[in-house]
Every structure is written in C-alpha cells, then in structure tokens.
Amino acid sequence: MAEYIFRIFRYDPEKDEGTKGRVQEYKIEVEKGWTVLDALNYIKWHVDGSLSYRRACRHGICGSCGMTINGKNTIACEQQVADLGTQVITVEPLRGFRVIKDLIVDMEPFYDKLYAIKPYLITYTPPPTDKERLQSPEDRKLLDGKYECILCACCTSSCPTYWADKEFLGPNALMKAARFVLDSRDEGWEERVNAIDDKHGVWRCHTIFNCVEACPKELNATRAIVELRRLMLKGRL
C-alpha cells in the first residue's frame, strides 16, 4: 500500500457550463499492482460516486478508457500506477475532443473520420469459393501493426495537426485506411481515395510522431501514413 494523490479533471455540464472545468484532488491508498483504472474505480466506488469515466473490459481491448495520464495519452487499464514514478498523478480527458462530463469526451468526430474512409472490406468480384476469400501469409503480414487498433483515440487526440484542424482525418482513420487499402482482398480504392487524398487527408500529416508515442497497442500510424503516401506517389509518377 502506498499513498497517492490523484488530481482529476472534473466538469459537470449542469454546474460547470461555460467554465473550463476544475481539478479535484483525491488522496487514496493504492494497492500493489493497481492500474490507474483500478484507482479510478476505487475513487468512484468508495470516495466520490459522481466521478465519471468510460470503462468496459479493463483488459486493454475495448478501447474505452483512453485518457491523458500525467500528460500522456494511454488507456487507464494498461497503466500501472507504480510505473508512473510520481506520487501526484494528473488525470485529464483526451484533448482535442469536447468534454461531455469529467473524463468522458464526445467521440463522434473521431468516428466520423473513421466512417469517411469506409473501414470495412469492399469487394466486387465474387469469392473464389463459397466459404472465404483466401489471402497468402505474405499478404496477411502486410496488415500486421494496422489491424490491432482498439479505437481508443489516444493517437488522434495527441495529434497537434488534429488540434489545429478538426477536419483532419487524423492518424487513426488514416491507419485504418491503410489497413484496408493494403489488404490483398480489398477492391475499395476508388471509394476511399477521395477521403484519403482530400485537403484534410493524408497530406496534412507533419510527421510529428505523437500518435506513435501515444498508442497503447504500439501501432505506428505515422508509418501507415507514409505507406499511403508512397502508394499515391507511385500511382502518380
């Protein structure tokens, strides 16, 4: 057991409307092995039931608990409290999105970008067998490091270009686009290219690498963006 101070961003739309929100401190005993999500659960269940945040699986697979912890985006369920190395821990909602309540942000703009690139397999030719569309292990390998995304929004929320231009597709949608464009079974290029090649698309990235640092699944959205650009470059020259 060790004592930690959690400085948590609070915003209640009924009381704090028009303000920039406030910070509330909670001093709690943290047990060995607790993640930040465990600490938030403890606060909500035993100290202050009004604290709001998203969570579901607590196993790093649902992507619900993306937040900014000590200034760095990650999912709270994968962040060990002891690994943070500070006794005072700040917890804030993902930046770049509108705060709905406390640590809960409006994810709609994030999903809109995802829908824009049509994040599903698009095919026109019928499958070779009535069971499945086969893919060689080599072709399958091209998707490694792209398909594992859990949609936590840590990447897009860490992107300064997205902060400046809210219409920018952002690292997540662009990486998802690469995941389908590079899929040997996919035939949806024509339907995706307009969004990818848009003024707010792949050319807006300034290779800042914040998304790479932020991703709790250690995916490299910047590399995916570069792969998309390389494809477009080849297609034009």
Query: What residue ranges bind ligand SF4 (CB under 6 A)?
Result: 149-155, 172, 175, 214-215, 217, 219, 221
User: Of ligand SF4, another protein, ligand HEM, none, which one sits near residue 229, judging by CB under 5 to 8 A according to partner kind?
Assistant: another protein
Nearer to ligand HEM, 22 or 206 (CB): 206
Contact between 187 and another protein per CB under 8 A = no
The pair of structure tokens assigned to 39 is 């600490």
DSSP letter, residue 35: B
CA–CA distances in Å: residue 156 to residues 34, 65, 137, 143, 180: 27, 15, 30, 20, 19
User: Of ligand SF4, ligand HEM, another protein, none, which one sits near residue 207, judging by CB under 5 to 8 A according to partner kind?
Assistant: ligand HEM
Contact between 236 and another protein per CB under 8 A = yes
The pair of structure tokens assigned to 236 is 């034009």
CB of 214 to ligand SF4, least distance (A): 5
The residue range among 35-43, 121-129, 136-144, 197-205 that interacts with another protein, by the rule CB under 8 A, is: 197-205
Size of the site for another protein (CB under 8 A): 22
The pair of structure tokens assigned to 104 is 């809960």
Place of tokens 């700040």: 90
Contact between 12 and another protein per CB under 8 A = no
User: Of ligand HEM, ligand SF4, another protein, none, which one sits near residue 233, judging by CB under 5 to 8 A according to partner kind?
Assistant: another protein
Residue 53: CB atoms within 10 Å: 20
**Are the beta carbons of 160 and 208 closer than 8 angstroms?**
yes
Q: How far is CA 11 from its chain centroid?
A: 22
Distance CA 209, CA 196 (A): 19
* Interaction site with ligand HEM (CB under 6 A): 206-207
Residue 184: CB atoms within 10 Å: 13
Nearer to ligand SF4, 154 or 196 (CB): 154
Given the rule CB under 8 A, which residues bind another protein? 161, 164-165, 168, 189-190, 193-194, 197-201, 203-204, 229, 231-236
